[in-house]
């Protein structure tokens, strides 16, 4: 939520403790009645604390790449974009009022700049230090795999296989998948390939994904993404990039946005 110039100046003064007793009491009453304003103050307070307490700044190199990948995704989120807009708006307000409000130090805007610097550094650390195996662990997302059972016509055996898959009992799931293999259903091939991949049977996994690729079904393009993941797990940069480029060749391909991120990281 955006506030007017006077409100941002009050927030700054409140955090800097430059309000008079009467002004502070009146402003705190507003905070009790306006949850959006209270949230805004909390954001700026945390940013102010982050900037003014050096002990809270950590060496980004100490974090594992997987953590940096998570940080990168968070900082690239819609919430961060909204915060960036607030920073720019605040900067404009500060510049417009600096001459007549010299005593107000808007240090939380500097904190925002520090956060953006950390974002850039985190991207660099993420791209430099993450191994292919760590990228695989970060980007595999089996929650997006479509269900093997169809509403209204449940298949007890396939439901059991899917349950085993979700419990990460991949070897047991494969024994059921293999019985159904002659159907060559694209979803079944995906489940089969992922199960082999998680068991480190890479070649068998790729055989399932290659079969999916040649299936000429609506899901065949998903094979590019899964094959790319298989090469990441194997530590093969070159082939992983080749298949990620195939994913990125069409914005409608499964895993398009993730492929762009991985290509940057590789």
Give CA–CA dist 107/113, Å, rounded: 10
Q: Report the range out of 43-52, 93-102, 135-144 with the highest average pLDDT.
A: 135-144
Residues 18 and 87 in one domain: yes
Distance CA 2, CA 36 (A): 10
* Residues 192, 82 within the same domain: no
Task: Name the β-bridge partners of 153.
Answer: 150
Structure tokens at 26: 């009146």
Total domains in the chain come to 2
At residue 191, the 3 state secondary structure works out as helix
Whose CA is closest to 40, among 9, 78, 71?
9
User: Are residues 106 and 226 located together in one domain of the fold?
Assistant: no
Q: Give the model's pLDDT for residue 107.
A: 53
Q: Is the pLDDT of residue 21 over 70?
A: yes
Of the three residues 113, 130, 147, the one that is the final residue of a domain is 130
Average pLDDT of the chain is 77
Q: What pLDDT, on the 0 to 100 scale, is given for residue 80?
A: 58
| 194-251 tens-digit pLDDT | 999 999 999 999 999 999 999 888 999 999 999 999 999 999 989 999 999 999 999 9
**Are 74 and 177 found together in one domain?**
no
**Section 98-106 average pLDDT:** 47
Say if residues 68 and 41 touch (Cβ distance below 8 Å): no
What whole-number distance in Å separates Cα of residue 90 and Cα of residue 189?
52
Contacts of residue 245, Cβ cutoff 8 Å, sequence gap at least 6: 259, 263
Q: Give the residue with greater pLDDT, 199 vs 50.
A: 199
Q: Which of 93, 115, 130 is the last residue of a domain?
A: 130
Q: How far apart (Å, rounded) are the C-alpha atoms in residues 154 and 181? A: 18
Residues 59-95: pLDDT tens digits? 444 444 455 455 555 555 565 556 555 555 555 555 5
Quote the pLDDT of residue 60.
Answer: 41
Between 47 and 62, whose confidence is greater? 47
Q: Retrieve residue 81's tokens.
A: 């974009």
Choosing from 130, 159, 177, the residue where a domain stops is 130
Q: CATH no. for residue 174?
A: 1.25.40.10
Full residue range of the structural domain in which residue 126 is found: 5-130
pTM for this prediction: 0.54
């Amino acid at each position: 939520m955006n506030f007017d110039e006077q409100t941002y100046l009050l927030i700054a003064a409140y955090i800097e403790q430059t309000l008079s007793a009467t002004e502070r009491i009146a402003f705190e009453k507003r905070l009790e009645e306006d949850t959006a304003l209270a949230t805004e103050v909390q954001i700026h307070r945390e940013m102010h604390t982050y900037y003014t307490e050096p002990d809270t700044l950590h060496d980004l190199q100490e974090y594992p790449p997987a953590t940096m990948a998570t940080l990168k995704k968070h900082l690239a989120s819609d919430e961060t974009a909204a915060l960036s807009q607030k920073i720019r708006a605040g900067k404009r307000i500060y510049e417009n009022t600096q001459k007549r409000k010299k005593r107000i130090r808007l240090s939380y805007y500097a904190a925002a700049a520090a956060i953006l610097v950390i974002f850039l550094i985190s991207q660099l650390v993420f791209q430099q230090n993450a191994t292919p195996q760590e990228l695989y662990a970060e980007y595999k997302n089996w929650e997006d795999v479509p269900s093997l059972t169809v509403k209204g016509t449940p298949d007890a055996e396939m439901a059991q296989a899917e349950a085993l898959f979700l419990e990460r009992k991949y070897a047991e799931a494969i024994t059921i998948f293999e019985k159904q293999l002659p159907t060559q259903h694209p979803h079944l091939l995906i489940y089969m390939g992922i199960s082999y991949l998680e068991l480190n049977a890479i070649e068998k996994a790729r055989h399932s994904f290659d079969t999916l690729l040649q299936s000429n079904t609506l899901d065949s393009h998903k094979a590019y993404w899964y094959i790319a993941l298989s090469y990441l797990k194997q530590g093969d940069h070159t082939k992983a990039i080749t298949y990620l480029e195939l994913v990125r060749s069409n914005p409608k391909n499964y895993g398009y946005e993730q492929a762009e991120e991985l290509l940057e990281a590789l």
